[in-house]
Amino acid sequence: MKWLRYWWPALIWAVVISGFSTGAFTSTNTSHYIIPILRFFLPHASAESLDFLHHIIRKCGHLTEYFILSMLILRGIRAGEKGLYLRWALVTILIVACYAALDEYHQSFVPGRTAAVGDVLIDTSGGVAAQIVASLFVLLGKAREKRHQDEKNAAGTIPTNTA
């Protein structure tokens, strides 16, 4: 059950994503909450503008959901190991893309929902973005370690006077 220690967050998040794919989160239902909030902040915006912003917010939700899923899957794949390998990132992106496609397929059976290839692409983009961010964190961490080691080495050397 060691694998569960690393994989449970990704599994729970996958269930949360599935919950967002139910009829409760149709565009019509979320508009009952999001549009009034947008109207509060943008009282002079047209109905078309508010609908467009609602659409953008929903698509950003897709990106964010799968960004998080990608990070959690990477956590499971790493299983506590340090560093980052290209194969880990690629496998993570593959899993994210497959789950996104499965989720969209599931939505095709939910009343009020539709399956969209564009959503799979947005979801997968969120997964790719997460892997880029993870890679940047690893690279920055390595650069910080190298700088710290260089400073430590420099502090331990005694300058020689050749004059």
For residue 105, tell me if it sits in a domain: yes
For residue 29, tell me if it sits in a domain: yes
- Total number of residues shown for the chain: 163
Name the token pair of 101: 């496609």
Residue 162: predicted pLDDT = 60
DSSP per position, 78-108:
HTT--S--HHHHHHHHHHHHHHHHHHHHHHT
Angle in degrees, CA 114, 117, 123, rounded to 5: 100
For residue 162, tell me if it sits in a domain: no
Residue 119: predicted pLDDT = 96
pLDDT tens digits, residue range 46-89?
999 999 999 999 999 999 999 999 999 999 999 988 878 999 99
For residue 163, tell me if it sits in a domain: no
- Domains in the chain, number: 1
For residue 106, tell me if it sits in a domain: yes
Residue 160: predicted pLDDT = 60
Domain around 87: 2-156
Angle in degrees, CA 104, 109, 111, rounded to 5: 110
Looking at residue 44, the DSSP 8-state letter turns out to be T
For residue 161, tell me if it sits in a domain: no
